[in-house]
Amino acid sequence: MLTIANVHAASVSGTFTGTSQIVNTSMDPNGNAVTLSEGTIAYSGAFSAKSTSTEVDVTYPNGTGQLHGTETIIGSLDGGAAGSIAGIYTGAFTATGLHQSTESLSRGNYGLQGLQAQGVWTEQVSCNSEGTVCSFAGNYTLTNITYQY
């Protein structure tokens, strides 16, 4: 099997908005809140796409925390053919709701087949008073973009 890597672009960027629904929150023995959420996201800019995500957040007593999640993006990159691609991300957040994460994208199919990229997502998150529904908006930048054929 021959593998050829073609660089698609050095860097592309755009914006996104979304909502997430809190599925479950529990407290660990150290007083940290562990939250599972599921979200939907709309992308614009380099990605013209929609996605679904599943995320686990660990919020420390001081309000800061860490996040880990997966995402399936369905759409196109830079106006190319449509497809889907999987993302795995990890990051941190502040007590004021500013989240920053890094994401690796791979395992694309159809128009995104062979796509691999890394990126940085920065977003501001706000939740309703019950803490059950959150909305967010932010920016993303993809780098190290290659297609494997």
Per-residue pLDDT reduced to its tens digit, 10-48 = 789 999 999 999 989 999 999 999 999 999 999 999 999
Reported confidence tier of residue 2, pLDDT bands at 50, 70, 90: very low
Tell me, what CATH number does 97's domain have? 2.40.350.10
| Whether the Cβ atoms of residue 23 and residue 34 lie closer than 8 Å to each other | no
Q: What is the pLDDT of residue 7?
A: 47
Residue 7 or residue 137, greater confidence = 137
Q: What is the pLDDT of residue 16?
A: 97
Q: What is the pLDDT of residue 4?
A: 40
Reported confidence tier of residue 149, pLDDT bands at 50, 70, 90: low
| Whether the Cβ atoms of residue 54 and residue 69 lie closer than 8 Å to each other | yes
Residue with tokens 């890094």: 102
What is the domain extent for residue 9?
5-148
Residue 67 or residue 2, greater confidence = 67
Residues 6+ apart with CB under 8 A from 8: 77, 78, 115, 145, 146, 147
Range 75-80 average pLDDT = 91
The structural domain count of the chain equals: 1
Reported confidence tier of residue 130, pLDDT bands at 50, 70, 90: confident
Confidence (pTM) = 0.89
Q: What is the pLDDT of residue 9?
A: 61
